[in-house]
Amino acid sequence: MARTDPDAPASTAWRIERAALLRTSLVVATAVAVYGLSFGALAVAAGFSLAQTCAMSLFMFNGASQLAFVGTLGAGGSMLVAVASALLIGARNASYGVRLAPLLGIRGLRRMLAAVVTVDESTALAMANERADDRGRAGRFGFWSAGVAVYLLWNLTTVIGAIAAQHLGDPRALGLDSAVAAGLAALVWPSLRDAATRRAAAVAALVAIALTPVAPAGVPVILAGLVAVAVVVRVDRALPSRSAALPRDAFGTAA
């Protein structure tokens, strides 16, 4: 059988593959949508206005960072600490760009747009579909379709969640103060299959609690994260070498 020409405008095989990639993107975006609803509601419950809540999803576009930002300020942390927490959590996105740059092969305006939608889901879909025999076409399509689908649904559901929360009553009576922790636990959960990651999470949780009475709000989280990673990286070095884990999909989707 002759190999399909990767540059043929729309061969049947490519049409089928493209439809499958779009479907997968929608499934991934639907999972994120649920999270967007929660984020919108929690941000409003934490005292952010509707406009601020929507601006966060539009311009930050990083779920875990947004929840950390809202959680830190909601718990009375200083603004500097809230910004630092969000940026430390978002640092992994830089590693995605390094990974994606050769696949996407773009410059200028398109590269600046690609950076906007460089998140867990788009990276996961790009990497899962990266192949040599189509010169990366499926990987590139997966990146853009997942990135755009997640961006649209994330922002749409943020608005819906935020508006719904404006009509809810006392956040404490509804138990919303444990919803942030539960939501973040759900994000972390898939990564805990890895033993070293589990150790880092446990160390970080314990250090954060221990520091809470003695450090300003938000600071224990940052210190605990740094200490835990330092400890685990050291332990790893003492143990037989293992391959570095790739950044996991922090939205907990199975992409």
Partner 1 sequence: MWGPLGATALGLYLEKLAGYLLPASVLEQASVRRIAALLPIALLAAIVAVQTVGSGRGVALDARIPGLAVAVVLLSRRANFLVTVVGAAATTAIVRHLGWMA
Our finding on whether 79 is near partner 1 (CB under 8 A) is yes
Site size toward partner 1 (CB under 8 A) is 107
In the region spanning residues 24 to 53, those forming contacts with partner 1, defined by CB under 8 A, are 31, 34-35, 37-38, 48, 52
Does residue 151 bind partner 1 (CB under 8 A)?
no
Q: Tell me, residue by residue from 163 to 202, as one string, x for binding to partner 1 by CB under 8 A and - for no binding.
A: ---------xxxxxxxxxxxxxxxxxx-xx---xx--xxx
Which positions ≥6 away from 184 have C-beta within 8 Å?
Answer: 64, 67, 71
Q: How far is CA 236 from CA 2, 193, 205, in A?
A: 48, 16, 19
The CA dihedral of 187, 193, 199, 200, to the nearest 10 degrees, is: -40
Q: Indicate whether 108 belongs to the interface with partner 1 (CB under 8 A).
A: no
87-88-93-98 Cα dihedral, nearest 10 degrees:
110
Pick one of 5, 16, 19, 111: the residue that binds partner 1 (CB under 8 A). 111
Compute the distance between CA of residue 36 and CA of residue 42 in angstroms, rounded to an integer: 10
Pick between residue 14 and residue 45 the one whose CB is nearest to partner 1.
45
> Quick one: DSSP state of residue 175?
T
Task: Name the residue nearer to partner 1 (CB basis): 1 or 173.
Answer: 173
**Binding of partner 1 by 65 (CB under 8 A):** yes
**Least spacing, CB of residue 22 vs partner 1, in Å:** 22
- Is residue 111 a contact partner of residue 129, using CB atoms and an 8 Å limit? no
Cβ-based nearer residue to partner 1, 21 or 204: 204
Closer to partner 1 by Cβ: residue 14 or 249:
249
Per DSSP, which regions of the chain are E strands? none
The answer to whether residue 125 forms part of the interface with partner 1 (CB under 8 A) is: no
Does 86 engage in binding with partner 1 (CB under 8 A)? Answer: yes
Q: Which of 218, 235, 182 is nearest to 42 (CA)?
A: 182
- Name the minimum Å distance from CB 5 to partner 1: 29
Could you tell me the smallest distance in angstroms from the CB atom of residue 4 to partner 1?
A: 30
Q: Is 124 in the site for partner 1 (CB under 8 A)?
A: no
Nearest residue to 42 (alpha-carbon basis) of 181, 217, 180, 184: 180
CA nearest to 81, candidates 237, 228, 242, 208 = 208
Q: Applying CB under 8 A, which of residues 24, 25, 118, 145 lies at the interface with partner 1?
A: 118
Using CA atoms, how far apart are residues 106 and 111, in angstroms rounded to an integer? 5
Question: Residue 191 and residue 180: Cα distance in Å, rounded?
Answer: 18
Ranges within 212-251 binding partner 1 (CB under 8 A): 212-213, 216-217, 220-222, 224-226, 228-229, 232-233, 236, 243-248, 250
Nearer to partner 1, 14 or 69 (CB): 69
> Is the separation of the CB atoms in 62 and 89 below 8 Å?
yes
Nearer to partner 1, 68 or 162 (CB): 68
